[in-house]
Amino acid sequence: MTLTDERRLTQLQWLESEAIHIIREVAAEFERPVLLFSGGKDSVVMLHLATKAFWPAPVPFPVMHVDTGHNFPEVLAFRDATVERLGLRIEIVEVQDYIDDGRLRERSDGTRNQLQTQPLLDGITDNKFDAVFGGGRRDEEKARAKERVFSLRDEFGQWDPRNQRPELWNLYNGRHRPGEHVRVFPLSNWTELDVWQYIAAEQIALPELYYAHQREVFERDGMLISVSDVSQPRDGEVVEKRQVRYRTVGDMSCTGAVESDAVTVDDVVVEVAATRITERGATRADDRASEAAMEDRKKEGYF
């Protein structure tokens, strides 16, 4: 092996280096950054990268979560334990508060993922955050594939795909007018497989529902929905106990599980390597509303 070979970064090392560079750039360039942290795998990896970026100092910005009220309890418990372990400040915006005071109304289908936009924008505005880290990846969905690493949002929090800046040679332009902010995606160039390989390499803990377990589910629109207070079977939908895991976590009423035997992180890596459909395409009903569902929501201010 030559000296050049020894110095060459692996794919995961290169992705980690790029992400840490982006996180440090934001911390240096912006006054009030925040990291969106739900307890899902991508936000967990992003927070892990932020921790490495500033170690041994603490993460120099808070985290924020828009809680729909329909989140998986085990994910919320993991979120709270992680925040306490790392000594972070967390801002939690509750969708339920908006429903209670009339600013939002429940959807006819009972799901709440699409109700997150206004609480998210208010959380950003009320706290004067000028940069918001998100765990979006370009491989997840067509609209996210269009997004820059530094994604400018206007004074209304909206995304204009025609008003995005070039990012040549890893140079990022964070300039923005008062009232505007920038969404930042350190995992843009990662794939789902990269994320899981990194979780394995770094031994990153995740909520247990990412691994195969027994759960009562029913089938709806080709997805396995968990039985819960917010997702009950309709007439003709049969409840069965199956061994499943979750590839992505969101609103319980619109996030599907997949049948799986992957009980360890190495099992999941093998399973993900063999799949040919993204986790959002396979298990998120809110992204199936139309061909442009995600892009329309992003234009309104969603992540």
Looking at residue 1, what is its pLDDT?
46
Looking at residue 300, what is its pLDDT?
64
Looking at residue 168, what is its pLDDT?
84
Give the confidence band of 127 by pLDDT, cuts at 50, 70, 90: very high
Looking at residue 207, what is its pLDDT?
97
Choose the weakest-confidence range: 99-103, 182-186, 194-198, 227-231: 227-231
CATH fold group of domain 11-193+292-300: Rossmann fold (3.40.50)
HSE of 303, CA atoms in CB hemisphere, 13 A: 26
CA atoms of 183 and 132, how far apart (whole Å) = 5
Three-class secondary structure of residue 189 per DSSP: coil
Whether the predicted pLDDT of 256 surpasses 80: yes
Buried b (16+ CB within 10 A) or exposed e, 84-114: eeeebebbebebeebeeeeebeeeeeebbbb
The average pLDDT across 15-26 equals 97
The average pLDDT across 267-284 equals 80
CA atoms of 299 and 213, how far apart (whole Å) = 37
Number of helices (H), then strands (E), belonging to the chain: the values are: 11, 10
Give the confidence band of 280 by pLDDT, cuts at 50, 70, 90: low
Portion of the chain with pLDDT greater than 90, in percent: 66
Helix H or strand E segment including 219: strand 213-220
Three-class secondary structure of residue 9 per DSSP: coil
Q: Is the Cβ–Cβ distance between 51 and 86 less than 8 Å?
A: yes
Average pLDDT, the chain: 89
Q: Is the Cβ–Cβ distance between 294 and 144 less than 8 Å?
A: yes
Whether the predicted pLDDT of 293 surpasses 90: no
The average pLDDT across 179-193 equals 94
HSE of 125, CA atoms in CB hemisphere, 13 A: 15
Start-end of CATH 3.40.50.620 domains in the chain = 11-193+292-300
241 has which bridge partners? 216
